[in-house]
Amino acid sequence: MSATKVSRWFRVELAATALPVSVAVGMLGLFTVPNYLRALDWEREASVYRAQASEAAARQDGLQALQSEVDRLRRELAERGRMLPGSPDQGALLSALGRSGERKGIVNSESKSGRLSVVSVPGLTGGKASRRSVEAQMSGQFDALFTALSGAEGLPALVAVRSVEFTRSPAVQDPNAPIEAHFTFDEYFAERAAATPERDGG
């Protein structure tokens, strides 16, 4: 066989072989590319679902922590409810504020109490208690004022801080000058305390 014929036969065989291979590659591409794109879509979708699941789990953990805190506060409220004073004279808040006013860092201290009234207290044994408002005006260093506030809030009886206000005149340039503080508390007593004659607090 001549070299020319061999060359022509080789080109024919090569073309015949290349055609099926090209078709196969083309067909493979028709299946591979769409599948790859779908896989990317599925991966993105799976990532979204995983993020949503993680967020839901975090929310569930947060709700459980919140429920635990609510349960703790209810137990604390019930415990303090068993310690409610039976008369206004047995209240500890005014005396605690008076002692705070004598501490170092407090310049002036004055407190007064309002009248008792019966109120509903959800979570408290019996559901009702007597409550009075107690206001305190103090001036002094911030640390001493904050200690007085924390001491009042930490009393074993049921005392709730209703409002806190710290002020200092803009004209005062001395950073160590006394700060004015106004505290308002709600002090709770046993329900029967509202029927007990009160002496003026102060």
pLDDT digits (tens, 9 = 90+) for 39-79: 666 777 777 777 777 777 777 777 777 777 766 666 665 55
Predicted confidence band of residue 88 (pLDDT cuts 50, 70, 90): confident
**Confidence at residue 202, expressed as pLDDT on a 0 to 100 scale:** 46
Q: Which residue has the higher pLDDT, 17 or 136?
A: 136
- For residue 175 the two structure tokens come to 């950073």
- What is the predicted pLDDT for the residue at 133? 94
The model's pLDDT over 110-155, given as tens digits with 9 standing for 90+, comes to 999 999 999 988 767 677 889 999 999 999 999 999 999 999 988 8
Q: How many CB atoms lie within 10 A of CB 70?
A: 11
Rounded-to-integer distance, Cα 134 and Cα 201, Å? 9
| Answer CATH for 88-195 from 3.30.465.10, 3.40.50.300, 3.40.50.720, 3.30.70.60 | 3.30.70.60
Question: Residue 197: its pLDDT value, please?
Answer: 64
> What H or E segment, with its residue span, contains residue 134?
strand 128-140
pTM of the model: 0.55
Question: For position 5, what pLDDT does the model report?
Answer: 47
Angle at 52 between CA 49 and CA 53, to 5 degrees: 85
Listed by start position, the domains of the chain span 1-81, 88-195
